[in-house]
Structure 1
Amino acid sequence: MFYESWNELLRVPAAAGLAYLILIAAVRLSGKRTLAKMNAFDLAVTVALGSTLATILLNRQVTVAQGAAALVSLVLLQFATAWASVRFRSVRSLVKAEPTLLLRDGRMLHDALRRQRVTPDEVRQAVRTQGTGGLELVYAVVLETDGTFSVISHAQSGSGSALMDPGRPRTPSAGADRL
């Protein structure tokens, strides 16, 4: 059967409109960080929001008010986790991965590549994408917490302070692949 009743059919666009407005308002109120590039936690929240929205739209046993409460709860949990991760290193380490140094002074760090499941070809592609033709011209390639590659040429390296974590004192030449 295509539909049970006209009321059920009309419920979907009505619920969609209300749920959509609530979702947009909740995401806007939670701040710009909610819309930033995703890490694993952000992806999980996004999938949960999408699943909740679909449930609100298609499950007649879930009221729009219950769905709104679920959407707002998920956004508030994401906001609270982001707030705590900014203030507490332990929370940040649970929620977000740390950046990883994959190439230093033109040399691949093969142990780091294996741990991060990145191939040398992917590093070379990141270097080429930045318009650099030789690995020897690259000071560092970093796999960032959101899965993107940052490529720093020798000309752009400066003091190398962007590669050091202020919470862990060490020199950039220490050879460690964790930042």
Structure 2
Amino acid sequence: MATAAWRANELSPDLWQSLFYTKFTTVRTAVLTPIIVVFMFVLLRVGGSRTLTQTTLLNRIFSVAVGSLVGSAALRPTTPITATVIGAGIIMGAALLVDVAYAYKLLPASWVHPGPVLVYVDGVMQQHQLHRCLLTPDKVASEVRSRGYSSLAKVYAVVLEPSGSFSVISQDAARDGLELLHDVRGFSDHMRLDAQRQAEATAAGRIGAAAAARPLPVHDSPAGWSEEQHNKPFGPDGRTVTPLTQIHAV
């Protein structure tokens, strides 16, 4: 039934007009599209190069909204050009106001900028951060491979940037300094745990060194004899004769 209806209308002029936008629709698109492009170019030059960047969630939303307006004005004859101009201006103005408020710290940074997240550091996958960012270790390994690394042993840290991209820091680069990682979420916790582990290892090393430096105890039992006692004579009670200055308390 549907095939019969299509055959009856396949040569209809209305059908071809609806498919290919004949008559004045094509002319309108050809004329208005360059005008909209020039207008958007001027608006972006006034608003700044970061207005439609995809560094934050709001910038991404503004990019999608402006693209939708421009596409609707270029392809839909029922969309007036004045409404497109006003809508694009409002969106660009809002994006500019948010960037200014963020630059001058009028808004909390967490409201606009999600901040970078540490997902891998010094041989340890940060499982808590991976769960919060809806990532898996396989995704992190894939990003490391895309940077040309064949092993995670050559990588010191992997950071998820606010734009959604990954930054991979090698072990060689980490030796030059870590000041750019102090603002990354999760790095301060890692440094605190690392310092705690180093303190525990240092304390354990001191205890071991102190135990190694202690003199061997001298006992009357054969198991505790030292080499010097084997060469000393026996007394009347069968024990070795040892000066009191050589006996150490256990």
Pick the TM interval, shorter chain.
0.7 to 0.9
TM-score scaled by length of structure 2: 0.61
TM-aligned CA deviation for residue 58 of structure 1: 3.6
In structure 1, the residue matched to 2:6 is: none
Q: How does 1:3-152 map to 2 (within 5 A)?
A: 6-88=23-105, 90-152=107-169
* Distance in 2 between residues matched to 1:91 and 1:18, nearest whole Å: 38
Q: 140-149 vs 16-25, which deviates more?
A: 16-25
TM-score scaled by length of structure 1: 0.83
The DSSP-based 3-state class of the residue aligned with 2:150 is: coil
Structure 1 stretches (4+) deviating beyond 6 angstroms? Answer: none
Point out where structure 1 has 5 or more consecutive residues left out of the alignment. Answer: none
Point out where structure 2 has 5 or more consecutive residues left out of the alignment. Answer: 1-13, 194-250
The DSSP-based 3-state class of the residue aligned with 2:167 is: strand
* Distance in 1 between residues matched to 2:53 and 2:144, nearest whole Å: 24
Q: 90-99 vs 112-121, which deviates more?
A: 90-99
The DSSP-based 3-state class of the residue aligned with 1:131 is: coil
TM-aligned CA deviation for residue 172 of structure 1: 6.3
2:183 matches 1:165: yes
Between the two proteins, the alignment pairs up a number of residues equal to 173
TM-aligned CA deviation for residue 7 of structure 1: 3.5
* Distance in 2 between residues matched to 1:151 and 1:7, nearest whole Å: 54
Higher RCO structure, 1 or 2 (CA under 8 Å, sep 6+):
1
The DSSP-based 3-state class of the residue aligned with 1:90 is: coil
* Distance in 2 between residues matched to 1:97 and 1:89, nearest whole Å: 16
Deviations 1:94-118 (A, max 9, x none): 1221110001102101111111111
**8 Å CA contact retained: 1:164, 1:172:** no
* Distance in 2 between residues matched to 1:63 and 1:22, nearest whole Å: 15
The residue identity in structure 1 corresponding to 2:183 is: D
Change in CA separation of 1:5 and 1:131 when aligned onto 2, cut-off 3 Å: closer
Computing the radius of gyration from Cα coordinates, the structure with the larger value is 2
The residue identity in structure 1 corresponding to 2:42 is: A
Query: Considering only aligned residues, what root-mean-square deviation do their CA atoms show, in Å?
Result: 2.5
